[in-house]
Amino acid sequence: MEHYSKVTISLCMIVKDEEKVLARCLDSIRELMDEIIIVDTGSHDRTKEIAAKYTDKVYDFKWVGDFSKARNFSFSKAGCDYIYTADADEVLDEENREKFRTLKETLLPEVEIVQMYYGNQLSHGSVYNYDRELRPKLFKRLRNFCWIEPVHETVRLLPVVFDSDIEITHLPLKSHSSRDLEIFAKITGKGQPLSPRLLNMYAKELFISGGKRQLKEAEAYFTSVAEGEETAPEQMKEALCVVVRAARIRGDFIKMYRYAMKDVASDGVSEVCFELGEYYMGQKDYQEAAIWYYNAAYETQSILDIRCCCQWPLKRLAECYEIMGCREQADKYRQELYLQAGTDDVTINSGLNC
């Protein structure tokens, strides 16, 4: 029988003003960790005092608006075989603690990254359209390079990733979207380009939880992306969504329509169709609004906010047909809305009612 040696794990956290949730997180995972490292980025509450009850490895790191730098600093303090990253608003229940304990006792040494499910994502939605996703959470601290292939040998560069069935519950007390959007605005305000991944995250966060002010701040940057000669089609679509919404909210309907037509001319997306519906709804042209809401719900797909292709256009379709006196048609969309959303009361983000 093959023998497995239990690995050692360093918990690395970066925190700021987390006195209300830090103990809850640490109590749920402390028994699984061989070392606890907590990096504080400028708390003004009792966070560091609480952290000191669990570990003597509490460090200060001056916040510079860069989560990666803070994470790298925390990793530099680790000394165990693996590093586990946790946010203060996470909780591991007893069932998943047992799964984690088993993983720790049986983890193969060649595994370099372990992914775990991150649940309850929609409780304070900011960039996610789903409630559960796999995330890399456990990392081998020192990587051993090895040769692969029997001939024309080469060094394996991609990490060995294991997808576990451990699920972490995300229990935030509030949304962090305003913090994230502020960081995005500072980066783009300095003229620094975003990677395709961050561009996607920024656009999603603006659509799902951004307000009027954040959209206006982002409009110039996304306009430049939409006008870029080397912008890839996927990023172009994302940029057009943001520009169309921002222009509509500002009342610049000429710009809104011009950029919307760029999208519609190349297989439109639900977000842009929904924005056109919102524009015509505001103009009290309910027949035209219904056409665009129908396109959002049935003829296109969403790329940023899934609500733009289901609940929201269906709710608006019911409203349009009710206003036009077509009660039977309105009831049809209400019934479909109920079946999709599981409720007869779907609220449209106040940022859309402008």
State the pLDDT at residue 342.
58
In this prediction, residues 55-81 reach a mean pLDDT of: 94
Q: Are 221 and 231 in contact (CB under 8 A)?
A: no
Pick the CATH number of 9-170 from 1.10.357, 3.90.1480, 3.90.550, 3.20.14: 3.90.550
Tokens of residue 32, six digits: 């699984």
Q: Measuring CA to CA, how many Å separate 177 from each of 206, 208, 214?
A: 9, 9, 10
Residue 180 is which amino acid?
Answer: D
Does 115 score more than 60 pLDDT? yes
Q: Are 278 and 352 in contact (CB under 8 A)?
A: yes
Q: Measuring CA to CA, how many Å separate 10 from each of 37, 67, 157?
A: 7, 19, 24
Q: Can you list the positions of beta strands (E) in the chain? A: 9-15, 35-40, 58-60, 82-85, 90-91, 113-119, 132-140, 147-148, 154-155, 161-170
Q: Which residues pair with 120 in a beta bridge?
A: none
Q: Are 305 and 129 in contact (CB under 8 A)?
A: yes
Q: Are 241 and 215 in contact (CB under 8 A)?
A: no
Q: Are 348 and 315 in contact (CB under 8 A)?
A: yes
Start-end ranges of CATH 1.25.40.10 in the chain? 177-339
State the pLDDT at residue 170.
85
Does 20 score more than 60 pLDDT? yes
Q: Average pLDDT over the chain, rounded to whole?
A: 89
Give the 3-state secondary structure of 192-260: CCCCHHHHHHHHHHHHHHCCHHHHHHHHHHHHHHHHCCCCCHHHHHHHHHHHHHHHHHHCCHHHHHHHH
Does 173 score more than 80 pLDDT? no
Does 351 score more than 50 pLDDT? no
Q: Are 86 and 25 in contact (CB under 8 A)?
A: yes
In this prediction, residues 141-151 reach a mean pLDDT of: 79
Start-end ranges of CATH 3.90.550 in the chain? 9-170
Q: Are 210 and 172 in contact (CB under 8 A)?
A: no
Residue in this structure with the two tokens 């996304």, named with its chain if needed: 222
Taking the whole predicted model, whether its pTM rises above 0.75 is answered as no
Contacts (Cβ under 8 Å, ≥6 apart) of 160:
110, 111, 112, 113
Query: 4-13, 250-259, 293-302: which has the minimum mean pLDDT?
Result: 4-13
Fold of the CATH domain 177-339? 1.25.40
In this prediction, residues 291-312 reach a mean pLDDT of: 94
